[in-house]
Amino acid sequence: MKLLLKYNILPKPERYETLEGTYTVSSSTEVLCSKEFTRAGHYLTAYLKTNPRQGEGAITFKKVEGMAKESYVLRVAPDGITVRASDERGAFYGAVTLKMILMQATKTEGKAVVNGLLISDKPHHGYRGLQIDESRHFFGKEVVLRVLDQMAMLKLNAFHWHLSDDQGFRIESKVFPELNSIGSRRRYAGLKGCGMEYRGGEYFHYYTQEEIREIEAYANSLYIDVIPEIDLPGHTRDMLAAHPELSCTGEPTEVMCENGVASEILCAGNEAVYAFLEQLLAEMCGLFKGKYFHIGGDEATGGHRKYWQNCPKCQAAMVQNDLKTPKELQGYFMTRVNEMVKKHGKTAIAWNDVIGDSFDDSIVCQYWLPNNLGTVRKQAFKRDMILSPTDYFYFDVKYAQIPLRKVYRFDEALLGLAKPGQRVLGLECEHWSEFLDTETALQFSMFPRTAAFAEVAWTDPQIRRYSDFKKRLAWLKTYMRKVGIIYSRVEKGNRLTVGACRYHLGEDGAEFARSEKLRALETEK
């Protein structure tokens, strides 16, 4: 009997059996789907270069009742290929898996011979996110569209888009055009700090509202939700450069050209600030279709507090609202911001360092800071959580600090965040862009770690094995080489290179140079 080959599928499916026989797919193979699974059908026909039809046929997408959310069953047998699912997302992920199989199937004369198989699959986490920061460096539409394709291929479904920070405001505002003419512009392209000096000339980038809508529509066509972030009340030098009247002192300032966090902050006691945010957030919420809106809230505790402590308006607000500490003042500020986005039908997400018991339970907490784990565990019983711990999922950090194996070994149970009653929505990997200034640098930090991340987010921990993942990853690397995605070849922890800066410096970094050397060797072979 012929030994049936297994295909390399990332992330690993829940169950995989080989069946007798084969099925041959060509460009004349009909793809038929029920109406609501048309997008799933299109994903496949775009690859096969055909058009999906409604009805039943050679490759059939069938709706069945009672299957779990986002789950699918894929069967390949001599009589045809079927994808069964109860919802659109499940059908789509069936198409994604089938495409990955077709890419690996033996091909002769334009026909792909697929071995018989039965896969039943469902995600471990419902929220599987990837974040890109475009404030520090702007990648632009074409790069983002490619990232969305890569996300869909790995069954990631949430794109967290960090669009405002000290170093630049990146969405067109028609209500406050100075946020673009001043806030989207800074003096240098390359940021100073962490061993880097100012580089390049003026840097002026933002997405037009039309581009934003186009990108979100594309994401949605791949069943990826877009979560925009306007970081408040710290991380706002971009806004304060455009509107200095919103700070406690009213002094003029500039969009930041350095790495790190500016100490300037929005005044929390000035009603004009809340009026400004009402209008801005109304415009921004109206621009995006998704359910979630990220309101930031992180790192507003350092030098910021001296502004609030010395500001008569902030002090008056504290007295009036019986707030004892600057932290409580920030809670008051965030609560008001939450009400604003809620009014527009959005659910707010905020970083864990700001969240406390006084916060509305509807606010989702995004966990990033490892030293707040005790509080986070308690909050997880109260509100939905997204986990993106810095020591596992901050992919702008060097491979020496967060190697592939470490990403793969992540388990929320080890953090005490898998207890019954805790509301963990899922996981997210972060690509802060202080040092990621090109698509190449971004890809290098993303891959192969994002493949490991996708498996951690999708696959049940019980069936995950690193050695097995590495074997399947070998296929993905072949694919990435073919399509020109840059990935890191640096495997072994190389702790000596960590040094003072824990971030890898994109194309300027030693790890990148080392990986490129290995890449050259690989090409010679």
Asked if 196 and 501 touch (Cβ cutoff 8 Å), the reply is no
Give dist(CA 433, CA 436) in Å, integer: 4
Scanning residues 227 to 266, which ones bind Zn ion (CB under 5 A)? 248
Residue 313 beta carbon to Zn ion: minimum distance, rounded to whole angstroms: 5
Q: Map residues 376-395 to x or -, x wherever contact with Zn ion holds by CB under 5 A.
A: --------------------
Residue 242 beta carbon to Zn ion: minimum distance, rounded to whole angstroms: 18
Strands (E), 297-393: 347-351, 364-367, 385-387
Which C-beta is closer to Zn ion: that of 272 or that of 520?
A: 272
Which C-beta is closer to Zn ion: that of 271 or that of 360?
A: 271
Residue 267 beta carbon to Zn ion: minimum distance, rounded to whole angstroms: 3
Which C-beta is closer to Zn ion: that of 330 or that of 433?
A: 330
Give dist(CA 204, CA 187) in Å, integer: 9
Long-range contacts from 47-54, C-beta under 8 angstroms, 24+ separation:
47/99, 47/102, 48/102
Residue 329 beta carbon to Zn ion: minimum distance, rounded to whole angstroms: 9
- Provide CB contacts within 8 A for 492, sequence distance 6+: 403
Which C-beta is closer to Zn ion: that of 267 or that of 486?
A: 267
Residue 164 beta carbon to Zn ion: minimum distance, rounded to whole angstroms: 20
Query: What is the token pair recorded at 267?
Result: 């005044």
Which C-beta is closer to Zn ion: that of 311 or that of 480?
A: 311
Give dist(CA 164, CA 218) in Å, integer: 22
- Is 269 a binding residue for Zn ion by CB under 5 A? The answer is yes
Scanning residues 149 to 188, which ones bind Zn ion (CB under 5 A)? none
Residue 327 beta carbon to Zn ion: minimum distance, rounded to whole angstroms: 15
Which C-beta is closer to Zn ion: that of 102 or that of 267?
A: 267
- Is 267 a binding residue for Zn ion by CB under 5 A? The answer is yes
Q: In which region does residue 48 sit, left (phi positive, over 0), alpha (psi from -120 to 50) or beta (all else)?
A: alpha
Which C-beta is closer to Zn ion: that of 208 or that of 321?
A: 321
Residue 202 beta carbon to Zn ion: minimum distance, rounded to whole angstroms: 31
Number of residues that bind Zn ion (CB under 5 A): 6
Handedness of CA 230, 232, 238, 240 (dihedral sign): positive
Q: Write the DSSP symbol of residue 2.
A: P
Scanning residues 113 to 132, which ones bind Zn ion (CB under 5 A)? none
In sequence order, the β-bridge partners of residue 366 are 351, 386
Give the C-alpha distances (Å, rounded to integers) separating 493 from 356, 397, 487, 489: 37, 13, 16, 12
Which C-beta is closer to Zn ion: that of 299 or that of 516?
A: 299
Residue 307 beta carbon to Zn ion: minimum distance, rounded to whole angstroms: 6
- The label of the residue with tokens 């697929």 reads 114
- Collapse the DSSP code of 147 into the 3-class scheme (helix H, G, I; strand E, B; otherwise coil) and give the result: helix
* Secondary structure (H, E, C), 405-452: HHHHCCCHHHHCCCCCCCCEEEEEEEECCCCCCCHHHHHHHHCCHHHH
Give dist(CA 506, CA 76) in Å, integer: 42
Which C-beta is closer to Zn ion: that of 158 or that of 266?
A: 266
Residue 270 beta carbon to Zn ion: minimum distance, rounded to whole angstroms: 6
- Provide CB contacts within 8 A for 256, sequence distance 6+: 166, 167, 186, 191, 237, 238, 262
Give dist(CA 169, CA 395) in Å, integer: 22
- Is 341 a binding residue for Zn ion by CB under 5 A? The answer is no
Residue 281 beta carbon to Zn ion: minimum distance, rounded to whole angstroms: 19
Q: Kindly report the backbone phi and psi dihedral angles of residue 394, in degrees, each rounded to the nearest multiple of 5, phi listed first.
A: -95, 95
Residue 265 beta carbon to Zn ion: minimum distance, rounded to whole angstroms: 8
- Is 326 a binding residue for Zn ion by CB under 5 A? The answer is no
- Residue 233: cis peptide before it, omega within 30 degrees of 0: yes
Which C-beta is closer to Zn ion: that of 31 or that of 314?
A: 314
Which C-beta is closer to Zn ion: that of 242 or that of 267?
A: 267
- Is 364 a binding residue for Zn ion by CB under 5 A? The answer is no
Which C-beta is closer to Zn ion: that of 140 or that of 302?
A: 302
Of 479, 509, 296, the closest CA to residue 399 belongs to: 509
Q: Map residues 278-317 to x or -, x wherever contact with Zn ion holds by CB under 5 A.
A: ---------------------------------x-xx---
Residue 248 beta carbon to Zn ion: minimum distance, rounded to whole angstroms: 3
Residues in contact with Zn ion by the rule CB under 5 A: 248, 267, 269, 311, 313-314
